[in-house]
Structure 1
Amino acid sequence: MSNFSRTQRIRKEVVWTDGGVVAAQHRKAAEVGAAVLAAGGYAMDAAVATSFAVGVVEPWMSGPMGGGMMTLWRAGEQRAETIEFGMRAPAGLDVADYPLEPGRQAADLFPWTRVRDDRNIYGATSVAVPGTVAGMALAHRRYGTRDWGDLLAPAVALAEEGMLLDWYSSLLIASAARQLAQDPDAAALFLADGQWPDIAGWTTASAARLDQRVHAATLRRLADHGAQDFYHGDIGRMLVDDVRAKGGSLSMEDLRSYQPEARAPRTVRYRDAVIHAPSGLSAGAELVTALQQMQAAFDPGDAPSAASYAALASGLGDAYRDRLAHAGDTGESPRAPACTTSFSVVDRHGNMVNVTQTLLSMFGSHVVSGQTGMLLNNGIMWFDPEQGRPNSLAPGKRCLMNVCPTVGQVGDRMFAIGASGGRKILPAVANLVSFMVDFGMDLEQAFHTPRIDASAATGTVMDEDLPQDVAQALAALGPVKTAKRTVHPYAFAVPAGVMRQAGRNCGATEIMSPWGDAVCEADV
């Protein structure tokens, strides 16, 4: 039972255009990327600009203090690639500083055994080595055509202005106010009198803005001095000083030794399509596993059916069970290698990229670096705090991420998709791939079609708009719950994608996201 309307219907229009498109979880960030395309930039130029812009207007989801991955498509070379910029545990981390409380479960995204005081979830002890800046710098060196400083300039301007505190941002800040109040710098940035945000009025259009001038100054220095300042210079020293002053173990050596990687993606055939899933410690291996199982499990019809949803749920369940048992940074070649943001770009030449970047939890560690003005990640939570497992917490270890930026080609259509939402990311991407490959949907149809989530591996959550025969087919596999597609909290992850067909492009974002939008270069 719920309090929500059963008659309300929400849709987002998907517009085809000859020019480039940016689809992001915040319209302001999408506009920044689209303006780069309109000025003659390519997909990667727009992606770099969008990455830093979205860290300003959606600071609790991602930003320079986080990490992630991108999967890109080079149209001229007909080649896909993944750039990995995930987080790492600091080399000076001591596992003994994370004592377990047996019999109790962690309080956030993952069902780990709880660590005393949630030290792996909140505070400076949860901060991992960030990789976003290094990842964007590597992508820019390889494929950028515009000046680095020019691409960061729009983010600087947005931070100087300060993000608008509308009803949605006020809701999200209020939901984390108790934890934000524990850190003086976070409380000063997000709260009023250390307690609640300045919430936008119920019936008024006026609202306050976040004071992000310190964030702007850090971005300006990053624009002027380049990414090396983050890992070798003053920005890095400010970050390390702040983290260590608050009890964390991050060091300058951690920053100096950090390196992103460009690697071949996991490329597989799925029916008549070619799918490029991300490499490394992502959910790419599980996407491949699920698709291979689905291909053998059902024959596509005209539309998604009870059989197709059941095959999807079964494939995802098996993939997740394998992931939980075997995936992690073991020091060898990896099997698989919330609270996140994802955006996709396609330019007029057909180059594509999906970037999925994150602080991990919403508001990350709930700690702000006072000298840089930025929220810090809580990447340590990605590790299983119990020892003796592939993904167990250890110093210097790579984080096992849920991200799944994916590029695919089916017939004369190309698409780049990804999502935010922690463990819900993989099911969302698998749903969308199936809709577009198995049933010939375009982006608009796929994004409006009800989805399922099987990320718990022990049961399925299905959109309450799906018919009863789907519920019955899923029930044969295990427990089934229904959920409504709403604005907050999200039951099914928050995707963003672009598509290209016959030289024309379009983009789409999660229909329930009040900020998400696809912006054409002609619209800026």
Structure 2
Amino acid sequence: MTRWLRGLLFALLLAGAGSAAAAPAAPATRPGHAAVASAHELATEAGLEVLAKGGNAFDAAVAVASTLAVVEPQSSGLGGGFFMLIHRAADGREAMIDAREVAPAAVDAKIYVNADGTPNRGAAINGPTSAGIPGEPAGLAWVAAHYGKLPLTASLAPAIRIARNGYKPDARFLGDLVERRDVVARYPASAALLLTADGQVPKEGWVFKQPDLARTLQRIAAAGADGFYKGETARELVDSVRAAGGHWTLEDLAGYRVEEREPLRFDYRGWRIVTAPPPSSGGVALAEIFNILRGFDLAAMPAAQRYHVIIEAMRRAFRDHNEYLGDPDFVKMPLDMLLSPYYADGLRASILPDRATPSSMLPPALAHEPGTDTTHFSIVDRDGNMVACTSTVNLAFGSAFVAGRTGVILNDEMDDFALVPGAPNAFGLLGNKANAPAPGKRMLSSMTPTFVFGKDRIGVIGTPGGSTIITQVFEGILAFMEGKSAAEITAQPRYHHQYLPDWVSVEPHAFDDATAKALREMGYAFKQRRGWGFMNVVTWDLGTNRLDAASDPRGVSGLGKVQ
């Protein structure tokens, strides 16, 4: 063999080796770093602090949720509840931790009806009669005991420290407090905690210290759920609620139980979506929307036609959401039908190609909208464990009732029940018997924490926003599937249809002028909506093994962080 041929053969071998080296790497199975996205910088930092101490995503979730209870009490807290979707990397286990509030045993619909038969909204949204038995403390203890690596003393340490030392609330906190000031002022413990000595909302720069809440958190850290649901804290909760006209008992607290539920799972064009089951209404509605849209090539459609079929899918999913869904421990729901692709085929066939379907033409169903003052956080740790958690107290500052010396602001989730069938709730919308109150029953919720698994990317997504949670998460998933970054997903303009009222809620610039004109010509009406919630997203690119985290720019941007 000549020197030239030997050289050529050697060069070809080198080229082959180079090609092999340049072949795409296998998808990552472990990030090797972590990401947290939440609605408050102190909560995000608390999660990262616990991860740095050797905790996993579940320990970090306890830290983030408990810190949000301290720094964002208008949206969540120990007096509220949550749905937490988890994915454990070691064995692939997925579950939804249901720490939703429940109705007390003495629940009586008559409390929420005036003498003339009209709804008594004051009893439903203000003070102790509006509060369900909280689930968040039990949920945090459950997650730590069953999935965490660290003791509660470590995971709750940031929240305890911040509650004791104080922090400066932001403008959103103070603005929400202005809206609820008159109700806060009714209750001595609430006024003492949240208002100035002369009953006014504090100014920016105020250092908010919560020593009572710090002591309550310390009791949970020492004794787990029993530190809240039994003993000193439980007695103070019950005594203060009953003294102010509520009907809680020690048995209500001692009887609270966390439920682990099997997530809903469905596929859409090669993507696997894992999301919240009932008593969340969100996962069922998501599945129905995607099943309807499975029959359309959205990417090939002109913009107006694409939005048309999406809005019609939303309309039909919300109609069913309103009619059928409730607490699975109390209500038999036709989930096999609602989740069936064949059922979706029929719904898809009812969509007119060039006209909006007036909701009055669909079978009637009563609508209900949960409260909008909610929070969400997303976490992926270095081993690939994942958490998507949505937590709430319903209205801003919940019931506005601080339970004695506990420092705990109670929820007003009783208004999330259909307290008076056929009568509007705080948001002017209606409820049905599937979501009627009963002792120990969980009220229906739109909270929709979700994982999205693709061949090359994984997304962890969720948001607050009342009934718009469902459509916001849907739109976020679509954007993720289109390859958008976490920041692009959280920032994109939003739109929403929920069957009733029959209009499309929009943000400015949700549609360009030509698309909006075409949709109006199809028969759609638009109404701008002010509150949308603050989405938090973590994405994992399996090819580059890169985590990305983003918080919603509608709140305080830059709160999603990678460690």
* TM-score (structure 1 length as normaliser): 0.87
Structure 2 partner of 1:416 = 460
Task: Output the CA distance in 2 between the equivalents of 1:505 and 1:515.
Answer: 17
- 8 Å contact from structure 1 (residues 242, 370) kept in 2: yes
Structure 2 partner of 1:180 = 184
Counting aligned pairs with the same residue, the percent is 32
Specify which of 156, 162, 169 is matched with residue 165 of structure 1: 169
The structure that has the greater radius of gyration is 2
Q: Which amino acid aligns with 2:533?
A: A
Specify which of 234, 244, 247 is matched with residue 246 of structure 1: 244
Taking structure 1 as reference, are residues 156 and 435 closer, same or farther at Cα in structure 2, changes over 3 Å only?
Answer: same
Count of paired positions: 481
Taking structure 1 as reference, are residues 463 and 76 closer, same or farther at Cα in structure 2, changes over 3 Å only?
Answer: same
Structure 2 partner of 1:468 = 513
Instruction: Give CA-to-partner distance per residue, 1:337-382, whole Å, 9 cap, x none.
Output: 9101100100011111111111111110011112101210011010
**Paired residue secondary structure (1:229):** helix
Shift of the alpha carbon at 1:173? 1.4
**Paired residue secondary structure (1:374):** coil
Shift of the alpha carbon at 1:100? 4.6
Task: Output the CA distance in 2 between the equivalents of 1:212 and 1:348.
Answer: 33
Alignment of 1:379-390 (within 5 A): 379-387=413-421, 389-390=433-434
Structure 2 partner of 1:441 = 484
- 8 Å contact from structure 2 (residues 74, 173) kept in 1: no
Alignment of 1:351-500 (within 5 A): 351-387=385-421, 389-437=433-481, 439-455=482-498, 457=500, 458-465=502-509, 466-475=511-520, 476=522, 478-482=524-528, 489-490=530-531, 492-500=532-540
Alignment of 1:85-484 (within 5 A): 85-100=99-114, 115-116=119-120, 118-200=122-204, 207-282=205-280, 283-301=282-300, 305-329=303-327, 331-334=330-333, 338-387=372-421, 389-437=433-481, 439-455=482-498, 457=500, 458-465=502-509, 466-475=511-520, 476=522, 478-482=524-528
Taking structure 1 as reference, are residues 182 and 334 closer, same or farther at Cα in structure 2, changes over 3 Å only?
Answer: farther
Task: Output the CA distance in 1 between the equivalents of 2:533 and 2:147.
Answer: 29
Runs (4+) of structure 1 exceeding 6 A deviation are none
Which blocks of at least 5 consecutive residues in structure 1 are unaligned?
Answer: 1-16, 104-113, 201-206, 484-488
Shift of the alpha carbon at 1:456? 5.8
Taking structure 1 as reference, are residues 470 and 370 closer, same or farther at Cα in structure 2, changes over 3 Å only?
Answer: farther
Specify which of 556, 559, 562 is matched with residue 514 of structure 1: 556
Q: Which moved more, 1:385-394 or 1:216-225?
A: 385-394
**Paired residue secondary structure (1:390):** helix
Q: Which amino acid aligns with 2:541?
A: Q
**Paired residue secondary structure (1:365):** coil
- 8 Å contact from structure 2 (residues 324, 333) kept in 1: no
Shift of the alpha carbon at 1:18? 5.2
**Paired residue secondary structure (1:315):** helix
Task: Output the CA distance in 2 between the equivalents of 1:170 and 1:383.
Answer: 28
Shift of the alpha carbon at 1:436? 1.4
Q: Which amino acid aligns with 1:182?
A: R
Taking structure 1 as reference, are residues 506 and 18 closer, same or farther at Cα in structure 2, changes over 3 Å only?
Answer: farther
- 8 Å contact from structure 2 (residues 111, 120) kept in 1: no
Task: Output the CA distance in 1 between the equivalents of 2:232 and 2:260.
Answer: 27
Structure 2 partner of 1:9 = none
Taking structure 1 as reference, are residues 478 and 392 closer, same or farther at Cα in structure 2, changes over 3 Å only?
Answer: farther
- 8 Å contact from structure 1 (residues 18, 504) kept in 2: no
Task: Output the CA distance in 2 between the equivalents of 1:518 and 1:418.
Answer: 13
Q: Which amino acid aligns with 2:237?
A: L
Relative to total residues, which structure has the larger helix share, 1 or 2?
A: 2
Relative to total residues, which structure has the larger strand share, 1 or 2?
A: 1
Instruction: Give CA-to-partner distance per residue, 1:93-119, whole Å, 9 cap, x none.
Output: 12222215779xxxxxxxxxx522521
Q: Which amino acid aligns with 1:412?
A: D
Task: Output the CA distance in 2 between the equivalents of 1:288 and 1:188.
Answer: 46
Task: Output the CA distance in 1 between the equivalents of 2:93 and 2:499.
Answer: 34
Instruction: Give CA-to-partner distance per residue, 1:57-76, whole Å, 9 cap, x none.
Output: 10111111111101112223
Shift of the alpha carbon at 1:455? 3.5
Task: Output the CA distance in 2 between the equivalents of 1:328 and 1:225.
Answer: 33
Task: Output the CA distance in 2 between the equivalents of 1:270 and 1:335.
Answer: 21
Structure 2 partner of 1:111 = none
Task: Output the CA distance in 1 between the equivalents of 2:290 and 2:115.
Answer: 38
Taking structure 1 as reference, are residues 234 and 515 closer, same or farther at Cα in structure 2, changes over 3 Å only?
Answer: farther
Taking structure 1 as reference, are residues 194 and 382 closer, same or farther at Cα in structure 2, changes over 3 Å only?
Answer: farther
Task: Output the CA distance in 2 between the equivalents of 1:516 and 1:102.
Answer: 51
Shift of the alpha carbon at 1:223? 1.0
Shift of the alpha carbon at 1:39? 2.3
**Paired residue secondary structure (1:120):** helix
Shift of the alpha carbon at 1:227? 1.5
Instruction: Give CA-to-partner distance per residue, 1:397-437, whole Å, 9 cap, x none.
Output: 21111100001112211111111111121111011011112
Specify which of 26, 49, 57 is matched with residue 71 of structure 2: 57
Alignment RMSD: 2.2
Shift of the alpha carbon at 1:36? 1.4
- 8 Å contact from structure 1 (residues 313, 474) kept in 2: no
**Paired residue secondary structure (1:115):** coil
Instruction: Give CA-to-partner distance per residue, 1:142-193, whole Å, 9 cap, x none.
Output: 2100111111111000001123134333222112212211222111111124
Q: Which moved more, 1:180-189 or 1:376-385?
A: 180-189
Task: Output the CA distance in 1 between the equivalents of 2:406 and 2:213.
Answer: 6
Task: Output the CA distance in 1 between the equivalents of 2:145 and 2:300.
Answer: 45
Q: Which amino acid aligns with 1:449?
A: Q
- 8 Å contact from structure 1 (residues 44, 143) kept in 2: yes
**Paired residue secondary structure (1:81):** strand
Shift of the alpha carbon at 1:472? 3.6
Taking structure 1 as reference, are residues 399 and 300 closer, same or farther at Cα in structure 2, changes over 3 Å only?
Answer: same
Task: Output the CA distance in 1 between the equivalents of 2:231 and 2:456.
Answer: 47
Task: Output the CA distance in 1 between the equivalents of 2:388 and 2:198.
Answer: 37
- 8 Å contact from structure 1 (residues 26, 516) kept in 2: no
**Paired residue secondary structure (1:507):** strand
Q: Which amino acid aligns with 1:518?
A: G
Instruction: Give CA-to-partner distance per residue, 1:225-270, whole Å, 9 cap, x none.
Output: 2211212222122111111111111111111111111121100001
Shift of the alpha carbon at 1:449? 2.0
**Paired residue secondary structure (1:165):** coil
**Paired residue secondary structure (2:134):** coil
